[in-house]
Amino acid sequence: MDIKPIKNKFKELFSENPLLVRSPGRINLIGEHTDYNDGFVFPAAIDKEICFAVAKNNIGKFRFYAFNLNEGFELEVDKLAKTETLWANYLLGVAAQYKKAGYQIKGVDCVFGGDIPMGAGLSSSAAIENGFAFALKEIFGFEVSKMDMIKMAQKAEHEYVGVMCGIMDQFASMNGKENNAIKLDCRSLNFEYANIILSDYVIVLCDTKVKHELASSEYNARRKECEAGVKILQKHNREITALRDVDIELLQKYKIEFEPIVYKRCEYVVKENRRVEKAFASLQQNDMKTFGELMYLSHEGLRDEYEVSCSELDLLFTLARKSGYVIGARMMGGGFGGCTINLVKREKLEDFYETIKTGYLQTTGVETEMHIVKIASGTGFSNEY
């Protein structure tokens, strides 16, 4: 994204030379609903981002401007608390985490805006939190690590936004590396990069343009079902603390003790963790065909075993798979709406667009929105800086 309009707006409002920062959204290539089961995920930062122009003002005030909303906000630093202005809470929550850690903030001016599609599950919130955390570190000279900032950003979302998110979004946005995905162990937070050579393929996101109300209640239900499965297995092995510790053979051994629905949920998570590991291995061998097949299997598991898909996501998946233009596709995110992620043959991109748009509109009466994304580096200074 061109940061110049953000920079120019800052100078218009505050007449200072700001620090310029960019912070990306993220995709998750495979590994859905594994994070809260202490498992593995496989995200990557993307070239859709939030840009910031930030400077300290030393007048004891937060002065923020949301460029995309054309909306300003002001609050005295010593009155730092959640507010009715929801977008400002993402920034204030980060400042509050620095304050909790004993760092002093005397006043900040900030203009931010970006091109991350809203509601598409690309973690614009994590990008905002990470970018502001990085900016505060730089303008005040705070000595904090990347991991410190990731955890502050996550806690900001928990405490000021009210979303009890896992750590994947902030982690991927902060630690992204160009042309690399990140295999993240959600228990230890150890991670490895995997180079993705996409020469013949393009990553395309297809947005259902829907979000069903089931999402949050069903998310909580899935967590409870997974926990119920763990409790059953703990009777046989006390070292099991999460589905991460279980293989399919062990699960099958005690299947008779499970409610059928709980078994289905656990089976999906155990299989998905193995798929992430296989996906990582396939990228190391530059085997995109196997990687794509694992994406298909992931969607089928989310649809049939974990049951967090919806008719719109399934339609996009089916249209993509039957098109002949795609080597891998699946729903991405918590489910019940949002996007599918597709590995599309580069020379068939226009044909893919036409097939998906026409098929989705005919069935749903809704126009899908499509986004090509490239894998980018994580939160840091803007190239303009």
> Residue 124 class from Cβ within 10 Å (0-12 exposed, 13-18 middle, 19+ buried)?
buried
**Continuous H helices in 235-310:** 248-253, 260-284, 288-304
Per cent of the chain over pLDDT 90 is 90
**How far apart (Å, rounded) are the C-alpha atoms in residues 356 and 350?**
10
* Structure tokens that stand for 166 in this block: 């896992």
**How far apart (Å, rounded) are the C-alpha atoms in residues 92 and 90?**
6
Residue 161 dihedral angles phi and psi, to the nearest 5°: -105, -30
For 146, other C-beta atoms within 10 Å of its C-beta total 16
- For the stretch 307-359, pLDDT in tens is 999 999 999 999 999 999 999 999 998 899 999 999 999 999 999 999 999 99
* Structure tokens that stand for 297 in this block: 């299997």
Q: How confident is the model at residue 119 (pLDDT cuts 50, 70, 90)?
A: confident
Q: How large is the average pLDDT for residues 86-106? A: 97
Task: Reduce the DSSP state of residue 49 to 3 states and report it.
Answer: strand
For the chain, the helix, strand and coil percentages under 3-state DSSP, each to the nearest 5: 45, 25, 30
**How far apart (Å, rounded) are the C-alpha atoms in residues 198 and 349?**
14
The most distant pair of C-alpha atoms in the chain lies apart, rounded to whole Å, by: 70
| b/e map 293-303, b = 16+ CB within 10 Å | bbbbbbbebbb
* Structure tokens that stand for 14 in this block: 């505050």
Helix axes 86-100, 146-156, angle to 10 degrees: 130
Residues 6+ apart with CB under 8 A from 54: 18, 19, 21, 108, 109, 110, 111, 132, 135, 136, 139
Contact 359, 319 (CB under 8 A): yes
Provide the pLDDT for residue 211.
83
Provide the pLDDT for residue 218.
87
Q: Which residues are catalytic?
A: 169
- For the stretch 225-251, pLDDT in tens is 999 999 999 999 999 999 999 999 999
Contact 176, 44 (CB under 8 A): yes
Domains of the chain by start residue, with CATH: 4-196 (3.30.230.10), 201-373 (3.30.70.890)
Provide the pLDDT for residue 384.
66
Contact 331, 317 (CB under 8 A): yes
Contacts of 258-261 with CB under 8 Å at 24 or more apart are 258/229, 258/232, 259/228, 261/225
The 71-76 sheet, strands edge to edge: 71-76, 61-66, 108-114, 43-56, 19-28, 380-381
| 385 has a pLDDT exceeding 80 | no
- For the stretch 272-302, pLDDT in tens is 999 999 999 999 999 999 999 999 999 999 9
Task: Reduce the DSSP state of residue 337 to 3 states and report it.
Answer: strand
Helix axes 86-100, 124-140, angle to 10 degrees: 40
Report angle CA 339, 132, 195 to the nearest 5 degrees.
50
Provide the pLDDT for residue 217.
83
